[in-house]
Structure formats: C-alpha cells, structure tokens
C-alpha cells in the first residue's frame, strides 16, 4: 500500500494528472429480464441502499437491497399485474414500505400497499375504488405509519390515504380538472403532506400542502406555463420549503422552489423526463433525468452560483425510470432502467482520489473526506459491515506518516466518522498541501487523497 501512496505522491510532484473531477461508477443490480421500471431508491440508517421496482416481464413488484457485500433481490407481490407506479419508503427500523398499482383490467385497478414486518411481506389493498392507485408516492410519518398520494382515474382526482394505527383514511385532495398525475409527495417534520402534481386539463404544475392549523388542503399553481408538470419530484429544505423538479414539453428540465413568499421557476437543462430530486447539506438541489432525444441519463447540480450539467450514461437507451438518493456525504447514487438490455442499473459518483467501488468492498467502504479541500479540520468517514480492528493513518505526498488517528481500535458495524484537525503526532499544525489517508481493516485497505489549504 505504501508503494501505491508513493505512486500518487510522485504523480503529484511531477505534475501528472490527478483523478478526474467527476468519476461515475456503474453496476447492474438486476438483469432478470424486463426489469427496472418505476424504480425508487432509499438509503437506510446504515447507508445501505434499498430499491423497489417493477418486472415488466412477469408484472411483479420486486425489491433489492444492499446487505454490505452484495445485492439481495426478492419478489414482493406477483398476484396479477401489479408491477407499476411503485414508490418506496423506510420506517425508523429500516423496514421497507411500498405503494403500487394493481392493474386488474381495462379501466379497473386498485391501490395496494406492502410492508416488511421483520419476517415477512404483508400486503393489502388500500383503495378498491373502480380505478385508482396510479402515480403513487409514499412516505412514513413519525409514528411509523404510511401516507400515500395517488390518482383516482375515474373521477380524475388527486387522492390521499393514510394509516392511523388501526384503519386507513381516504380523502380527495384536488378535484379541479384532470389532476394528480405525475405526482410526488413528502411529509414535513410535523407529518404534514406536501404534494406536487400535474393538472392535465390545463398543463400546469400544481402543489398541495396540508395545513394542520385550519385542517384543510392549501392548493396553488406553481407553474402555469402550458405543457409543464410531468415527471415531478419534490423535497423539502431545512425551512420546510418545497423544491420541485419537473418536465417541460417537449424537451426541458425545469426546477421550482418556494422562498417563503413566492415561487421561482427556471429551465435547467435539455431532457427533463423521469426527474428525481434531492437536496444536499446546503439545501442545493441535485437532479437526475432522462434525455429522450439523446437516450441518456443526465445529472444536474446547483453549486450556489450556477447549474453543473453532465451526462452520466449514454450507452444505449438508458435513464428511464431514474431515482436519485444522496449518501452520508451528499454524493449522488442513481438507479435507472436500461431498456436495451432489460436491466436495472446503478450509478454512483466516486469523488476525486477515490479508489473504492462505491459499494462495500469485502464488507468495507471508505468515503471521501468532507470538506475537501479544507483549512481547519475535516471528517473522514468509513463503513463496516462487520466489527473488527481499524487503523487510520495520514501520510504526506512523500509517503511519510503524519498522524495516526486510529491504531487498531475495535469498531462496530455501521458508519464511523473521525476528525483530523491538520496536526501531526506532536500536535503541530502541518503545512498546506496534498495528504493521503489510509484505512486498514482485516478485510481490505483503502486510501484517498485530500487537500489542506491555509
């Protein structure tokens, strides 16, 4: 490993190229046929990934989770044509809850719900009205109870269902026109629902929020520009304000945010289908979407000044049914459908200097330090799937040891974070420059580089 460190050091000193600023890694989660539609991605409390998605070949609801070393895949529901309009959320015990549509026949379908109770999947029909349950979105409240938004296709209304611990409550949110399609929903810290959706009658983007002081839905139009509001995704910032990504026909990604008094909307990029949005530590949006004209998966990130745009994957017809989630370092992870191969694919961003795979190698994953660069202190995080001794060492560009932060300490499974204040073993502040940190475990060794600035 020291030879590897010295290679990096020589590369830096000789002015050779360092790792690229954007390094996307790729793998396939499920190659079992026509899979990957309606994909939904969530991280659990240990930063393991969970995905719910459809199998078009068998019309099943499928579920995959990363167990620390490999993907585990199972069928949740195979009773009929159930594999569409899928949405996933996790409760406080990291148990998955899935809402989806049961397509019984032409113009007839029901809203279904499945959850893992720790030993088995429990499945029930939530709304058995004539044709309802498409465009579902699910979230879990502070009591561990599910809330679901969806469409009533017979009455063309936006509907909402929630479990109170003993029974389901069903209600109509909006019935003004053909509303509710392409919807997404999230709960705030008070368990109030925020829903974005399209009005098909007018082509507008709409937004509904439950006001618990007046016990009513507050509904407004976010963007009245005709032909907007499809493929929506919503997230709330630290103020509880909504951020929404959505499609502007025929080929644009749009973004809207509420600042406390008004909505701001803008065009972000070309593409815009199957959007998925998440907010980073600064409440800056990151968005993935599908570019139909170029049949590619694209990614947009707001850096505080401008949008950074890039194509993640353009190897064939890819990027449909995209879902985005950010890890503990607010780095993007994306699942999406590969139409050409019929696969569910997975892409993740590997930061500069990364040497890992983005998935736990031999039960271990080292993350990029944050912040990087830094000028006072930085945090180094790593994940273990099994307990064991860990050594964490800082080196300079010559390969000389600067500081040992962990020396064979026993660490439990899960995420660990260690802070370095830029000092050496004697407590003296080190000079600005490039440094490397090496984590050694019985399963694997891994190193990354970081930059200390004055």
Final residue of a domain: which of 325, 350, 375? 350
263 and 412 belong to one structural domain: no
Final residue of a domain: which of 350, 368, 386? 350
Res 17: pLDDT? 34
Are 75 and 123 contacting, i.e. CB atoms less than 8 angstroms apart? no
Instruction: Look at phi and psi of residue 304 and say left if phi exceeds 0, alpha if psi is from -120 to 50, else beta.
Output: left
* CATH number of 439's domain: 2.60.40.1930
305 and 402 belong to one structural domain: no
Total domains in the chain come to: 2
309 and 365 belong to one structural domain: no
370 and 343 belong to one structural domain: no
Res 106: pLDDT? 83
Residue 11's φ and ψ, nearest 5 degrees, are: -60, -40
Final residue of a domain: which of 326, 350, 374? 350
308 and 387 belong to one structural domain: no
- The ranges of the chain with pLDDT < 70 are 1-22, 351-363, 443
Q: Which among 37, 53, 52 has a CA at the least distance from the CA of 90?
A: 52
- Tens digit of pLDDT for each residue in 201-260? 999 999 999 999 999 999 999 999 989 999 999 999 999 999 999 999 999 999 999 999
53 and 181 belong to one structural domain: yes
294 and 394 belong to one structural domain: no
Res 454: pLDDT? 75
Res 363: pLDDT? 55
Res 445: pLDDT? 79
This prediction has a pTM of: 0.77
171 and 294 belong to one structural domain: yes
330 and 368 belong to one structural domain: no
Q: Which among 439, 441, 443 has a CA at the least distance from the CA of 362?
A: 443
420 and 291 belong to one structural domain: no
Res 446: pLDDT? 83
Contacts of 351 (CB under 8 A, 6+ apart): 23, 329, 331, 368, 372, 448
- Tens digit of pLDDT for each residue in 272-286? 999 999 999 889 999
146 and 63 belong to one structural domain: yes
* CATH number of 167's domain: 2.120.10.70
188 and 50 belong to one structural domain: yes
Which residue range forms the structural domain that includes residue 433? 2-18+358-452
């Amino acid at each position: 490993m020291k030879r590897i460190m010295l290679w990096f050091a020589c590369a830096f000193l000789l002015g050779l190229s360092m790792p690229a600023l954007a390094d996307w890694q790729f793998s396939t989660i499920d190659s079992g046929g026509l899979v990957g539609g309606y994909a939904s991605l969530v991280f659990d409390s240990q930063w393991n990934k969970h995905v719910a998605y459809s199998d078009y070949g068998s019309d099943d609801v499928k579920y995959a989770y990363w167990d620390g070393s490999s993907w585990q895949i199972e069928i949740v529901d195979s009773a009929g044509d159930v594999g569409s309009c899928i949405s996933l959320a996790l409760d406080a015990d990291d148990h998955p809850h899935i809402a989806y549509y049961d397509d019984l026949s032409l113009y007839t379908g029901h809203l279904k719900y499945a959850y893992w109770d720790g030993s088995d999947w429990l499945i029930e029909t939530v709304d058995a009205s004539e044709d309802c349950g498409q465009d579902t979105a699910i979230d879990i409240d502070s009591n561990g109870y599910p809330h679901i938004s969806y469409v009533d296709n017979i009455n063309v209304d936006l509907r909402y269902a929630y479990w109170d611990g003993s029974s389901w409550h069903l209600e109509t949110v909006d019935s003004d026109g053909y509303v509710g399609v392409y919807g997404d929903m999230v709960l705030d810290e008070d368990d109030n629902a925020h829903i974005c959706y399209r009005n098909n009658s007018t082509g507008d983007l709409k937004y509904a929020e439950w006001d618990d002081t007046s016990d009513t839905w507050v509904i407004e139009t976010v963007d009245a520009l005709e032909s907007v509001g499809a493929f929506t995704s919503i997230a709330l910032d630290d103020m509880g304000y909504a951020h929404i990504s959505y499609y502007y026909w025929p080929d644009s990604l749009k973004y809207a945010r509420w600042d406390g008094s008004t909505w701001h909307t803008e065009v972000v990029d070309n593409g815009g289908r199957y959007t998925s949005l998440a907010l980073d530590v600064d409440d800056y949006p990151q968005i993935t979407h599908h570019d139909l004209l170029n049949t590619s998966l694209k990614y947009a990130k707001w850096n505080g000044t401008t949008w950074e745009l890039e194509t993640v994957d353009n190897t064939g017809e890819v990027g449909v049914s995209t879902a985005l989630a950010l890890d503990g370092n607010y780095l993007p992870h994306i699942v999406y459908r590969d139409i050409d191969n019929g696969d569910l694919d997975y892409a993740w961003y590997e930061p500069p200097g990364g040497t890992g795979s983005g998935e736990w190698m031999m039960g271990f994953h080292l993350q990029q330090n944050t912040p990087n660069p830094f000028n006072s202190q930085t945090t180094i995080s790593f994940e273990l799937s099994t307990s064991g001794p860990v050594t964490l060492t800082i080196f300079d560009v010559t390969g000389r040891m600067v500081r040992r932060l962990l020396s064979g300490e026993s660490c439990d499974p899960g995420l660990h974070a260690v802070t370095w204040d830029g000092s050496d073993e004697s407590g003296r502040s080190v000079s600005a420059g490039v440094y490397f940190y090496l984590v050694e475990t019985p399963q694997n060794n891994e190193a990354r580089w970081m930059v200390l600035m004055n």
